[in-house]
Amino acid sequence: MESPARHVYRRLHAALGPQGWWPAETPFEVMVGAVLVQNAAWTNVERAIARLREADLLEPRRLARARRETVEQLVRSAGYYRQKSRRLQILCEWLLARCDGQVDRLRDAPLGRLRAELLGLHGIGPETADSILLYALELPALVVDAYTRRIWVRHGWIAPPADYHALQRRLADDLPVDVALYNELHALVVQVGKDYCKKRRPACDACPLADLLPDGGPCSDER
DNA sequence: GCCCAGGTGGGTA
DNA sequence: TACCCACATGGG
């Protein structure tokens, strides 16, 4: 039997088509978005990014040098604005020190090294780090999120508790190393998750993956 | 009013 | 390690 990850990709790609992620004009903007979207709705993040753009702060040095209060007000709509403004400026300081703010230069380092450095930054956890590696730097990092966990657990493809790296390893074992594939898979999972795999309101009936559920029944909550 | 969203870090037992 | 909790806005 085809692995769950391949199957999900094939199904969702057929049902939804290519997603064209990440929606951003520059790799740096991807990084900013990756921080701002932490536990937030993307529509709220879009507003924050638009305001940063109007303020001409979508650039590492200018964002790093901006007053904290200024950044806080600009990113308010993304929620957790005090934490996130600090996290953004920490990330910018690192970029200045690491590559003089030239994001493309990061690609010279090995993925594992880069990932470890990102995880060392305050406010960058595994999902944010992998999002940056995959969508800003186009390196083969698999992004796992709450939707991925829910989908995999509810289908019985992985036993809870499915922590980030256990789930990531499972996906990696099931897929060829392919940046374009990783890109699309996560985007598709988010898209279908938003519509059908919410925390407590399973709307599995219309989900493109519904017939894969155990017994064909509704998805159970995460045990 | 309530639940939810593309997490992360810090504290306590 | 295993739980808790804080963090905050805006949409359904």
Residue A45 has what pLDDT? Answer: 98
* Covered bases, chain B (protein CB within 7 Å): 3-10
Length of chain A: 223
pTM equals 0.96
- A123 CA to B10 C1' distance (Å): 12
**Distance measured from the CA of protein residue A166 to the C1' of nucleotide C5, in angstroms:** 25
A200 CB contact with strand B at below 7 Å: yes
A80 touches strand B (CB under 7 A): yes
Residue that has been written with the tokens 């594992």 in this structure:
A112
Instruction: Give me the CATH code for the A4-19+143-216 domain, please.
Output: 1.10.1670.10
* Residue A90 Cβ under 7 A from any strand B atom: no
Tokens coding A11: 């199904």
- pLDDT given at position A11: 97
Q: Which nucleotide is nearest to A161 (CA to C1')?
A: C2
Domain A27-136 has CATH 1.10.340.30: yes
A41 touches strand C (CB under 7 A): yes
Looking at residue A223, what is its pLDDT? 44
At A114-160, the pLDDT tens digits run 999 999 999 999 999 999 999 999 999 999 999 999 999 999 999 98
pLDDT value, residue A204: 80
Give A197's strand partners: A202
Q: Where are chain A's structural domains? A: 4-19+143-216, 27-136
Asked whether the bond before A176 is cis by omega within 30 degrees of 0, the reply is: no
